[in-house]
Amino acid sequence: MGTALIYLMVVAGVAAVVFGMAAVVFGRGEELAPLPPGATPTRLPAGEIDGDDVRELRFQQALRGYRMDEVDWVLDRLADELDRAGAERDGLLARVAELESELAGPGLRAKGER
C-alpha cells in the first residue's frame, strides 16, 4: 500500500512540474490585442470581392483553431454564392441597359419626326 501511495505522489509531482512548465512556456491564455482598424491577417482586395478571391484565401495554422475542412467548405460555399450573385447582377445590369436603350430609341425617333 505504501508503494502505491509513493507512486501516486511521484506521478502527481511530475504532473505538477509539467503543468507549471507548460504554463510558463505558453502563458496564461491572455487575449491578443485587437488588430488596428482596417488591418486584416488575410489578404483580400480593397474593392469588389468575387469567388476567386475567396477561394484563394489561406489562413494561418494554429495549435488551437477551427477544423480546416469545415472552413474550406464554408469558403467554397461563399465563393460559389458570390459568383452566382455576381452573374445575376451582371445579367440584370445588361437587361436594364437593354430596356433603357429600347426606351431611348422610340423617344428619339418621335422627337426627330416632328
CA dihedral 39, 41, 43, 44 (to 10 degrees): -60
Q: For residue range 59-101, what is the model confidence (pLDDT) as tens digits?
A: 766 667 777 777 888 888 888 889 999 999 999 999 999 999 9
Predicted structure pTM score:
0.47
Q: Is the pLDDT of residue 110 over 60?
A: no
Question: Of 56, 32, 36, nearest to 45 (Cα)?
Answer: 56
Q: For residue range 12-58, what is the model confidence (pLDDT) as tens digits?
A: 999 999 998 888 887 766 666 666 665 556 667 777 888 888 888 77
In the chain, where are the structural domains located? 51-113
Report the pLDDT value the prediction gives residue 77, as an integer from 0 to 100. Answer: 87
